[in-house]
Amino acid sequence: MNIRGKFITFEGGEGSGKTTVLGELSSYLESRSIPYILTREPGGIEISERIRDVILDTEHTAMDARTEALLYAAARRQHLVEKVKPALDAGKVVLCDRFVDSSLAYQGYARGLGMDEVWSINQFAIDSLMPDVTFYLDVDPEVGLARIAASKEREVNRLDLEKMEFHYKVREGYHIIAKQNPHRIITIDAKQTPTQVVNELIYEMEKGILKEFAGSLSNNID
């Protein structure tokens, strides 16, 4: 059967554990023989990775907030056209680390550009392609940033260097977006251990988004 793929995005503040959890989810999909790709924003393909370098360079302190929002939208557009859409057309599950909600929470709300304004430039970029489901990993910024400080693997980027107040605003922004989109966004408590978060995500995915892949799920159980 030819099923169109599923577009699943993951959102959260700094240190919410998305990267760790996405690694585990990839292994899970592999073990179930579900075709998938794992990708991230900003980045995922060459042109967008280069835009990413410009946005996140810690030396680019002069970057204007609207420039930042436009660059994220540009990286998003190219990534969508070159990587996400072809994978969905091929019937794959797309796991994407961040998408348009990041722009609404970070640029729209925390930077103060306005969620409506940021939504409108993003509508131009995404041309109606929205995720089937979004998992928002919710954690107190104090906890998230402490995790980053404790991890040697994660490089510090320009947005990490924002004041604590900014990170609290990002969280507030996500709460507003989640409240406005209850049909699409599932909030997960990311203060739990990564294993607990992964188990909760798998549970949610199996009862919802992956139902159509039930054939491959049961095939793999025996």
> What does the binding site for ligand TYD look like in residue numbers (CB under 6 A)?
14, 18-19, 41-42, 56, 72, 97-98, 102-103, 106-107, 157, 159
Nearer to ligand TYD, 17 or 213 (CB): 17
CA distance 42 to 50: 9
Residue pair 28/202 in contact (Cβ under 8 Å)? The answer is yes
Residue pair 22/38 in contact (Cβ under 8 Å)? The answer is yes
Helix (H) or strand (E) holding 218: helix 214-221
- Provide the minimum distance between the beta carbon of 86 and ligand TYD in the complex, in angstroms, as a whole number: 20
- Provide the minimum distance between the beta carbon of 76 and ligand TYD in the complex, in angstroms, as a whole number: 7
Nearer to ligand TYD, 85 or 154 (CB): 154
- Provide the minimum distance between the beta carbon of 125 and ligand TYD in the complex, in angstroms, as a whole number: 10
Q: Please name which of 147, 127, 117, 208 lies closest in space to residue 13, comparing C-alpha atoms.
A: 147
Which residue minimizes CB distance to ligand TYD?
Answer: 106
Instruction: Name residue 48's amino acid.
Output: S
